[in-house]
Amino acid sequence: MNKIPAFGLGTFRLKGQVVIDSVRNGLEFGYRAIDTAQIYGNEADVGEAIAGSGVRREDLFLTTKIWVDNYAKDKLAPSLEDSLAKLRTDYVDLTLIHWPAPNNGVSLEEFMTALADAKARGLTREIGVSNFNIALTQQAMAVVGKGAIATNQIELSPYLQNRKLVEFLQREGIHVTSYMTLAYGKVLGDPVIGAIAQRHEATPAQVALAWAMQLGYSVIPSSTKRENLASNLRAQTLQLTADDMAQIAALERNGREVSPNGLAPQWD
């Protein structure tokens, strides 16, 4: 069962007052899912914004990600407890392994077992992975059980549609969460997306986000501007036609934006 909200607020690259304002504004507009990570260095700021918002914890869906330095079994749960303290909560709804980091000296079996243990202790409601290819997702499933992996959060945009991996995940019942859905803003200037946006009296960002959601993915766009935070939310009610979807499908160009050496797997 997919318990992951279709629409959330990303916080990548946002720190200090900038992320506090973004989360506070997002919560005011009705966002209820917030995505952060240990390496973002903003969990305490996110926690501060939530605490000041008046939104009840049970109405929120919080995601964080374990950084590669904390994958060892004696470090993973303590690092997550530190994240919870910063976020001012007793649990997160979803915890992900941030990158497979194949050469960092901790085996996949060790960190997936440690992640499952953290869930068993109640530190997180759900567990998952991020940036895993098919082979690594299969290995993770073998360690914790297929049904235990709630999502694989992957870079996915009209320019990087990741079809082989998506088909595998959907076949296995693992939810797809799309990050970088706007390809660092590159798709916003795309003439095809622009024309679709014009037809629907929508923004290009709304079109790209609606495309991903209509394919069944969750999206977590970030913004520092109030008007964009509000505008992006309206993607949830935008209905693209089959022709619109086919035109966007044709934009695939393997346009990957993020692939850090030593952290990324061999992409499918």
- pLDDT tens for 67-97 read 999 999 999 999 999 999 999 999 999 999 9
Q: What is the DSSP string of 8-26?
A: -EE-TT--HHHHHHHHHHH
Which residues are tagged catalytic?
40
Whole-angstrom distance, CA of residue 68 vs CA of residue 88: 23
User: For residue 222, is pLDDT > 90?
Assistant: yes
Residues 109-161 pLDDT 10s: 999 999 999 999 999 999 999 999 999 999 999 999 989 999 999 999 999 99
Q: Are strands 33-35 and 92-97 parallel, antiparallel or unpaired?
A: unpaired
Burial code (b: 16+ CB inside 10 Å, e: under 16) for 106-129 equals bebebbbebbbebbeeebbebbbb
Which tops the pLDDT comparison, 58 or 1?
A: 58
Give residue 57's pLDDT.
96
Chain position carrying tokens 């346009």? 255
Q: At what angle do helices 16-29 and 43-51 cross, to 10 degrees?
A: 40
Give me the count of residues in the chain: 268
The residue type of 174 is I
Q: How many CA atoms lie within 13 A of 6 on its CB side?
A: 15
Sign for the pseudo-dihedral over CA of 36, 40, 45, 47: positive
User: For residue 232, is pLDDT > 50?
Assistant: yes
The hierarchical CATH code for the domain 9-249 is: 3.20.20.100
Using CB atoms within 10 A of its CB, is residue 257 exposed (0-12), middle (13-18) or buried (19+)?
middle
Supply the pTM of this predicted model.
Answer: 0.97
- 175: annotated binding-site residue? no
Give residue 233's pLDDT.
97
Give residue 213's pLDDT.
98
Q: How is the chain split into domains, by residue range? A: 9-249
Give residue 1's pLDDT.
38
Mean pLDDT, range 237-248, rounded to an integer: 98
Q: What is the DSSP string of 204-261?
A: HHHHHHHHHHHTT-EE----S-HHHHHHHHGGGG----HHHHHHHHTT---------T
> Which residues, other chains included, contact 35 with Cβ-Cβ below 8 Å and sequence gap of 6+?
8, 9, 10, 11, 12, 63, 179, 220
Give residue 146's pLDDT.
86
CB contact at 8 A, 81 and 123: yes
